[in-house]
Amino acid sequence: MSATPEAMVADLIARVSTRNYTIGIIGLGYVGIPLALTACKAGFPVIGFDIDAPRVAQLNRGESFIKHIPTTAINEAVKDGRFVATTDFDRLKEVDAIIIAVPTPLSKQREPDLSYVENTAEAIAPRLRKGQLVVLESTTWPGTTDEVMRPRFEKTGLKSGVDFFLAFSPEREDPGNENFSTSTIPKVVGGDGDEALKLAVAVYNALVVKTVPVSSSATAEAVKLTENIFRAVNIALVNELKVIYDKMGIDVWEVIDAAKTKPFGFMPFYPGPGLGGHCIPIDPFYLTWKAREFDVTTRFIELAGQINTGMPHYVVDRVAEALDRSAGKGLSRAKVLVMGIAYKKNIDDMRESPSLRLIEILESRGATTDYHDPHVGVIPKTREHASLTGRKSVPLTDANVAAYDVVLIATDHDAVDYKALVKASKLVVDTRNACAKAGITGGNVVKA
């Protein structure tokens, strides 16, 4: 007589508590690697899966390919025998929990591209066995776990909540954030049924400081979208305020710094040259797409998206205006140095970086562009900006800087000496308020 789901889960939870439980992680990137290291540190054996053979080989040598994740951490996990990476998905049969952390980008039509999730589910299905927990962490629209994942798994004849257990727990990584790591960020967990939720909570309780159980996987999926839409809408608001206040001769950064002294009812968000990272520029469109199925118009969210995606064009217009006023020179004859190619400061993460779009717009208007970034020596291949692949960061010397008509600060890395940069530059257009924060108010600095 086979064990009941309740008895099976009770036994699995007991194994979690003794660390006699192997965790498999599919997708060894900015989410998967920190999660794998966290699980290793908590005492679990971990098998990492990825289709990128060179990356797998690099990890098995104990080497990091992400700047803010130290090689020592990976090397220690490999040497201890707790972590191994592989391209062999047949080894999924060896793991007790399968955690999926693969990309969920947008198509060229700005619609959800679930191909990575779907392909991963198809790879898991023939290898799925009784008792396994499968957790999707990739950000997606509410209903993906139930409507996309579960049917593929149940085609095998196994039943969710009876033979295997299915859950969703959104990733909450913030690359380069020194105040929070994977283990210190609370984890929202939603399961396909009570037993799946119990088991998923038990696993994450062993990994992170706190779990936040919710009523369903769809609710957990909605939580992640809500978090990122909140940021996207508020960033759009301050981006719009920046444009308005600039016309009035008012410094939006000064306004925000004064407003945030109010101890209640205000939360500071800051403008920029556009949205970057894998979440904020993408996630709102997952909800707007799904909402159409229910005949709901997401006007507020879509308006925020329009404002944010339009910011690179606004910045380039400001560069052109500043060049015309300071030097009487058109953008089509200008040499531009873009400062910072990563999507935010002090990391090497290029995902959805607005700097790539800025370069494309500048060059479409005839400008000659280069970039400098202390964390990104060469622009890697990206889906949307393939033509920029392989471009190299130029050295930041006074002579080099002086050769450009304008320096555009797109990412405010701390490693840059902004005083020396401004001193050597003919003109600086600052989208991050980096110069003011460094105490520089030179006449050749224009905020954008």
Catalytic residues: 279
Contact status, residue 16 vs residue 165, Cβ threshold 8 Å = no
